[in-house]
Amino acid sequence: MTGITRYTRILTLFDQAHPTWTVAEISAALDTSASTLYRLIREMVAADMLESTVESRYRLGPLFVEYYRRLKLTDPLVLSGSKFLRPLLNQIPCPCTTILARLYGKTVMCVAEERSSIATFATSYELGRPMPLLRGATSKAVLSTLPKRQIMSLIEQASPNAQNDLDALYAEFTSIRKIGISETHGQVDAGLVGIAAPLRSAELGINASLSAIVEERKLNEEIRPQIYAALSSTARMIEGFMAELALDETKSNPAKSS
């Protein structure tokens, strides 16, 4: 094992199903000697990525809370977009969750969300949870922002069976990009509808989406156009802010403010 993966493969073990690990368990899972792991874990504890708990077990450490904040304060998508999620909610006249999501490897991940107080339902697009690329308006809108080559490759990897229908599948994303809206019903959560607008900043290399999740039974021909309009106009504003940030970057570059 080499480089940063020595640490990251330890980190990936810690999830909801396995909140704590002993060195012996890690040693078995990763096929690495205990003496090496004790050293690595000691380093990670010192860095606050892990911390020790009862029964000689280890759990995730608080460093991630600090860096989540740093990201919120520095990431151009979160900076530009999250301030619009609450106003967007107020433009939508039914229980709703608004979501800012982005490409995350071969998944899509929500990076900011707001929920109207009257919303009782739960959506699977939780903050920080990797979600499939090809299901749900939120994901499809993200995918639609990518170059054709990349979309094709991702479709192929996600469903290696449908080699022939590739072009047919791709057509959907062309359409989303053209219309500026994707709407899907129950593809992620039964009874819920996702409506999403693609979000892009070519300059910053950002491929994302802005979406509203509502209950299928609350959606009607009066509300739908309001949601479409609210998403589209908000998305345009967010892209405007991102463009501004990109400009700031460029301008401040020679100054090297440090």
The residue ranges that bind DNA (CB under 7 A) are 1-3, 6, 22-24, 32-36, 38-42, 52, 55-56
**Would you say 46 or 171 has its CB closer to a copy of itself?**
46
CB contact at 8 A, 173 and 209? no
Asked whether position 8 contacts a copy of itself by CB under 8 A, the answer is yes
76 interacts with, out of DNA, a copy of itself, none, CB within 5 to 8 A per kind: a copy of itself
112 backbone φψ class: left, alpha, beta (φ>0; ψ -120 to 50): beta
Q: Examine residue 66 and tell whether it contacts a copy of itself (CB under 8 A).
A: yes
Q: Which is nearer to DNA, 35 or 120 (CB)?
A: 35
111 vs 230, beta carbon nearer a copy of itself: 111
Burial per residue of 41-59, b for 16 or more beta-carbon CB atoms within 10 angstroms, e otherwise: beebeeeebbeeeeeeebe
Nearer to DNA, 45 or 169 (CB): 45
Q: Residue 23: count other Cβ atoms within 10 Å of its Cβ.
A: 18
Q: Which is nearer to DNA, 37 or 109 (CB)?
A: 37
Q: Does 216 bind a copy of itself (CB under 8 A)?
A: no
C-alpha 214: how far from its chain's center? 19
List, in order, residues 6 or more apart from 146 with CB less than 8 Å away. 103, 154, 207
User: Residue 114: which of 93, 139, 83 has the closest Cα?
Assistant: 83
> Does 106 engage in binding with a copy of itself (CB under 8 A)?
no
Window 11-40: residues binding a copy of itself (CB under 8 A): 11, 14-20, 25, 29, 40
The nearer residue to DNA, 55 or 221, going by C-beta atoms, is: 55
Q: Which of 126, 165, 167, 216 binds a copy of itself (CB under 8 A)?
A: 126
**d(Cα 131, Cα 144) in Å, to the nearest integer?**
16
As a whole number of angstroms, the distance between CA 124 and CA 137 comes to: 13
How many helices, marked H, and strands, marked E, lie in the chain? Answer: 9, 9
Query: Strand, helix or coil at 159?
Result: coil
User: Which residues bind to a copy of itself, rule: CB under 8 A?
Assistant: 3-5, 7-8, 11, 14-20, 25, 29, 40, 43-44, 46-49, 51-55, 57, 59-60, 62, 64-76, 102, 104-105, 109, 111, 117, 126-130, 203-205, 246, 249-250, 253, 256-258
